[in-house]
Amino acid sequence: MAKQNAEYTTPAGLKVQGPPHLNKPKSQYTFFNFLNGFVFVIICLLIIVPIWKVLIDSLDLTTGYGMKILPTKFGLDGYISIFSNQSLLRPLWVSIYTTVAGTFLGLTLSTMGAYVLIQWDMPFRTMFANILLFTMIFSGGMIPSYLVMRGIGLTDNPLGPILLPAINVYNLVLMRNFFEGIPKSLFESADLDGCTPMGAFFRIALPLSKAALASIGLMFAVAYWNDYTNFKLYITDRNLYNFQMKLRDMIQSSDLPESVGGATENTIRNACVITAILPFMILYPFLQKYFVKGINIGAVKE
């Protein structure tokens, strides 16, 4: 496999003339493309059906057991009772704050670590790699982790859930994988031009890895946004709860017998599930442009 790759890697370094990749000739309306589109229509339908059930239930003021195409009695009361919750605003801010700060920190650590790990000739590189991998497999356990967090003052501290997940070896190794795809020649010529490691990091590694940064960043963001375990274990002060904790709280208490306005327990529970997906639906289109098109390395080199 590596050999095949190498065959075409050489021309990549060269400056290639010609039309951009996506301006393909007319032949695009082929049978393959039609079939491909059709396959995705089916896939999307299969994926949507179960989610549809939740969505419809969240908009239905009656409680049914089976599948419905449309709500029996439409109403937004489920969402209203979530968003009219007085104490939701603060957790929302906690979530935004931890997600933004955590994603930034996580990306910083992953890219720096990954960048160091592609220095194949660096003494102790393998040892560093193994130190990281070891933590993926072995862990101290719940109670010792708590004692350490408590010892350094990170319990009941919003920094705890930011700092703890920021080092993620899985993401770091994936990032290293992306950096590896950058032609070595670029780094070598940068070195010859007197560029420092830090300089090459900012001028070559990062700009050429936008898709990787977007995807790893997304993975961090989603992990931070959905983080529940760290808040559950290290935060007892309700003022520091994040959105996810609050939503779980609401799902749980919708199970409790309390007379609720127009929304039934089932409506609220399903509305909570949909609400948890919403931020991603809002965020994702902004990231998507990084996933669409490749980066012409020749152009960067110039």
Partner 1 sequence: MKKLVALMLALALCMSMVVISASAEETFKIVMMVDTTVVDQNNGRDAFEARWEELHPGFDLEIIQPDHSAYYDVMQQRMSSGDWPDVLILSSTYYADYAANGALWDMTEAWENSQTKNSGRFNGDNVFEGLKIDGKLYGFAPYRGNGCVTYVKKAWMDDCGITEAPTTYDAYIEMLKAFTAKYGTYAVAAAGFVGNEAPFVNYLPEFYQDAYPYFIQQEDGSWVDGFTQDNMKAAMQRIQDAVKDGLIDKETLTNTTADARNKFYDDKFGVFTYWAGTWATNLKTNLEANGKDGELIALKPLEGLPAYYDRVPPVWCITSKCSDPQKVFDAFIDTMLDGGDCQMLWTYGVEGVHWSKSAGTVLAGTEKEKTYEDGQFHMLENLEKEGTLYTKNHIDPMLSLASFADGYYDPKEDSVKPEAKAAAELFNENSRLAAIVPATPTLSELNGELTTLKGEIIADIALGNLSVEEGFAKFENEGGLEMSNEIVASLNELNK
Partner 2 sequence: MASVTSNGTIRARKKPLLKRMSKYWGFYLMFIPVLVFVAVFHYAPMFGIRYAFYSWKIIGDPKWVGLANFEKLFSQSQFSVSFTNTIVFSVVKLLLNTGFAVIISLLLNEMISLKFKKLSQTIIYLPHFMSWVVTASVFSLLLSPSNSGLINQLLIKMGVISEPVYYLADKGWWRIWYYIINVWRETGWQTIIFMATLTGIDPGIYEAASIDGAGRWKKMRYVTFPALGNTIITVLILNLAKIMNLFESVFVLQNDSVKRATNVLQTYVYYQTFNAGASADYGYTTAIGLFRSLVGLALMLICNYASKKVRGRGIV
Q: Which residues bind partner 1 (CB under 8 A)?
A: 61-66, 81, 84-87, 142-143, 146-147, 150, 231-233, 236-239, 241, 245, 248-249, 252, 255, 257-262, 264-266, 269
Contact pick of 31, 37, 70, 286 for partner 2 (by CB under 8 A): 37
163 binds, among partner 1, partner 2, none (CB under 5 to 8 A by kind): partner 2
Contact pick of 80, 88, 104, 145 for partner 2 (by CB under 8 A): 145
CB atoms within 10 A of CB 55: 17
Q: How far is the CB of 67 from partner 2 (least distance, A)?
A: 5
Q: Which is nearer to partner 1, 61 or 287 (CB)?
A: 61
Q: How far is the CB of 80 from partner 2 (least distance, A)?
A: 21
Q: Is 95 exposed, middle or buried (0-12, 13-18, 19+ CB in 10 A)?
A: buried
Range 273-292, binding partner 2 (CB under 8 A): 273, 276-277, 280-281, 284-285, 288, 290-292
Q: How far is the CB of 188 from partner 1 (least distance, A)?
A: 51
Range 229-268, binding partner 2 (CB under 8 A): none
Q: Quick check: 296 binds partner 2 (CB under 8 A)?
A: yes
Residues 6+ apart with CB under 8 A from 254: 260, 265, 268, 269, 272
Structure tokens at 243: 């959105």
Alpha helices, H only, 59-124: 77-83, 89-117
Residues 6+ apart with CB under 8 A from 2: none
Q: How many residues bind partner 2, per CB under 8 A?
A: 114
Q: Which is nearer to partner 2, 100 or 295 (CB)?
A: 295
275 Cα distance to chain centroid: 17
Partners of 74 in the beta sheet? 60
CB atoms within 10 A of CB 171: 24
Q: What are phi and psi of 47, to 5 degrees?
A: -75, -35
Amino acid in the structure at residue 30: T
CA distance 98 to 158: 8
Q: Which is nearer to partner 2, 72 or 239 (CB)?
A: 72
Q: How far is the CB of 162 from partner 1 (least distance, A)?
A: 19
The CA radius of gyration of the chain, in Å to the nearest whole number, is 24
Q: Quick check: 65 binds partner 2 (CB under 8 A)?
A: yes
288 binds, among partner 2, partner 1, none (CB under 5 to 8 A by kind): partner 2
Q: What are phi and psi of 260, to 5 degrees?
A: -110, 145
Q: How far is the CB of 228 from partner 1 (least distance, A)?
A: 9
Residues 6+ apart with CB under 8 A from 95: 224, 225, 242, 243, 244
86 binds, among partner 1, partner 2, none (CB under 5 to 8 A by kind): partner 1
Range 151-210, binding partner 2 (CB under 8 A): 152, 163-164, 166-167, 169-170, 172-174, 176-178, 180-181, 184, 196-198, 201, 209
Range 78-137, binding partner 2 (CB under 8 A): 108-109, 112-113, 115-117, 119-124, 126, 128-133, 135-137
